[in-house]
Every structure is written in structure tokens, then in C-alpha cells.
Structure 1
Amino acid sequence: MASLEERLTNMFAPVVTALGCELWGVEYVTGGPNKVLRVFIDKDEGVMVEDCEKVSRQLSALMDVEDPIAGEYMLEVSSPGMDRPLYTLDQFSRYVGQVVAVKLRVPFDGRRKFKGVLTGIEDSDVVVAVDNEEYLLPIESIEKANIVPQF
């Protein structure tokens, strides 16, 4: 069975695309007293506040009709930002050569956290070079991954 994030991604993608944006990712955070549904959108020319407002209104209406989340939650729509999270192999492939921070669901080679240069994609693995050693990290094992901005 698909996760809630996967179901929401499938439900939101056509709406976000119709509004001229790309659905970058969906996160549902339940820790603490408040539930937060984060929706990240992107555009080649950059995401403006107006884009977030349009998408938020449409997704809010869709959520009211479909009602996939029980109880109260806060809907946040924003740009992925400079430290953008990465969710798919396609997104990883766009950032080859960049520094990434990756956290795995279960340890691989005795560790869960990797920070290094994203050197490529091999089949369904993300390849990260850490201290002159390459690690092939299966996409399904990645809990969280972000670009690390370099200044």
C-alpha cells in the first residue's frame, strides 16, 4: 500500500501542474502537538508568493473534498529553497556535482548519515562520494536527503 505522502503526491501533481508549477515533494509531519502538511512547488523562473497562494487555495479545496487526513492539520505551500529536499531519482540526477546530506532509514556500512558530493545515479541507487569513497545508496532506503548550499 502506498504511503500517505505517495497518495497525496499523486492527488496533488495534476493540480499543481495545471497551475504552471512542478510538484517538488510532499511531507506530512506529525511530531508534536500540530500536524503539518508541507507541499513544495518549483518553477524554472522561481516560485513567487502568488504561486504559493494559488496552489494553497486549490489544494485546500481538494483536501476538503477528498479528506485524506483525519483531524486538523496545517497546510504549508512553499519553494523547496536552497537546501531543497530531494525525493526522486530524477531530482537527484538534476543535482549531480552538488554536496548532499543523506539520512537512511536503516544503517548502511555502519552509518545512517552521509554528507558528500552527489556523483551520479546507478539503476535505483544514489551515488555519493564521502572522503574519497563512493557509496551506492538505494533510493528506497533514503529517509531524507537535502542539497547542502555552498557559499
Structure 2
Amino acid sequence: MKREAVEEFVSSVVEGIIAGTEMELVDVEYVRERDWYLRVYLDKPGGIDLDDCQLVSEQLSSKLDEKDPISDNYLLEVSSPGLDRALKKDKDFIRYNGRDVDIQCFKPVHGSKQYTGALQGFTDDTVDILINDEVVTFERSTIAQIRLHLDF
């Protein structure tokens, strides 16, 4: 199975596992670093805890062993998306509208590859960020990643 197909398959399995719970599937990644990793990110009101991760991990592992859709050896990780979670879906942009985000671009846009500002809105093709009292529009095709900004 190709990477995208693995992610779609695992997403559908996880959605079945968490149906009827407060948990929400945030993202699934199937990536090769040194080894292959299958990462499942979950959230729920009040945050995900270790018991939630263990429950989903055990059930998902069992279903993946049963169906065996992934030919490569991989490491399964089930976790929270973290405080600096990546924004990928429309519901993420709606939920975090007004919050500060960090944008990393594939190549320089408006003179830089990295920006921090308040999320002001989005369309299918663009994302608007308030930077120094000016709304800057980024084409989604130029954005490598958008994450919630953390202030320490």
C-alpha cells in the first residue's frame, strides 16, 4: 500500500474505534525516518490521556494484525498532537481562528520562510494571518506547515 492509502485506511479504522467516544482523530502519518512510523494523533475535550492512547493502540494494532495491509515493518505511535499541534483540516482553522500560529513556507514569501501571527481566516486556497497590524494572505500551496504558536 502507498503512504496515502495506508493513512486513509488507518484513519477509517481509527474512526471506527473511537466512534461513540469524545475522542477525535486529528491526523494519521505514515512516514519513513530511519524506520517506518505509523503515527496516530488523537484529542478530546480536556486532552487525551495515556489510557486513551493505550486503548486505541491495542485495538488498532489488533485490527492491523488481522487485516495486515502494511507490508513494511513499522512502529505504531498513538499520542496527543501536542500543544503546538499542526493545523491541517478546515475544522482546525475554524477552532483556532484568532490564535497565534507559526507558518513555515517551502520558499521565501514576502521575503521570509517563517512567520508568526494571529490566524484571521482561510479559504480552500489561502490562509490569512495578522502580522504587525497587517493581514497577510498566504497561498496554501506555499505553506509547508502551520502550527499553533507557543509562548514561553
- Please give the range of the TM-score, normalised by the shorter of the 2 chains: 0.7 to 0.9
Is the contact between residue 93 and residue 122 of structure 2 (CA under 8 Å) also seen in structure 1? yes
TM-score of the two chains, using structure 2 as the length reference: 0.80
Aligned-pair CA distance for 1:99:
1.5
TM-score of the two chains, using structure 1 as the length reference: 0.80
Can you list the C-alpha shifts for 1:57-86, whole angstroms capped at 9, x where unaligned? 111112212323222111111111211122
List aligned pairs for 1:16-95, cutoff 5 A.
Answer: 16-32=18-34, 34-95=35-96
Match of 2:16 among 14, 18, 38: 14
Q: Please identify runs of 4+ aligned residues in structure 1 that moved more than 4 A.
A: 104-112
Which protein shows a greater Rg? 2
- CA distance in 2: counterparts of 1:61 and 1:104, whole angstroms: 38
The letter for the 1-side match of 2:79 is S
Q: What SS does the aligned partner of 2:85 have?
A: coil
Q: What SS does the aligned partner of 2:97 have?
A: coil
Gaps of 5+ in 2: none
What is the percent sequence identity of the aligned residues? 34
Is the contact between residue 103 and residue 114 of structure 2 (CA under 8 Å) also seen in structure 1? yes
Gaps of 5+ in 1: none
The letter for the 1-side match of 2:75 is M
The CA RMSD measured in Å over matched residues stands at 2.6
Decide which moves more: 80-89 or 113-122: 113-122
> How many residues end up aligned between the 2 structures?
149
Q: Cα–Cα, structure 1 residues 51 and 98, in superposed 2: closer, same or farther, change >3 Å?
A: same
